[in-house]
Amino acid sequence: MTQKKKTQEIQESQYPSPGTSNPAREPMTGAQASHLKMLADEIQEPAAFQQGLSKLEASRRIDALIEKLRLGFLPPHTD
């Protein structure tokens, strides 16, 4: 495969075709908002949840919070 063809394929993959969805621009879904809010509350990071996030940003934040939970970065519980 030529370098020019590789470059063209990379450039085309960075931009969605007309009529396709772009998660970086679409607003997060209700399910994402609910999941993100629940995780932010559970991990006690209310700033992680914000209205108006894109699907992509919501997905990234959800993944980051899940990873924190998995690694045990929760504050100590006080009863």
Residue 24, pLDDT score: 85
* Exposed / middle / buried, residue 9 (Cβ in 10 Å: 0-12, 13-18, 19+): exposed
The CA–CA distances, whole Å, from 14 to 7, 9, 18, 24, 48 equal: 11, 9, 13, 11, 27
pTM of the model: 0.66
**CA gap 41, 43 in Å, rounded:** 6
The residue ranges of every structural domain in the chain are 23-74
Query: Residue 39 in contact with residue 69, Cβ under 8 Å?
Result: yes
pLDDT in tens, 10-57: 444 444 555 667 888 999 999 999 999 999 999 999 999 999 999 999
SS3 54: strand
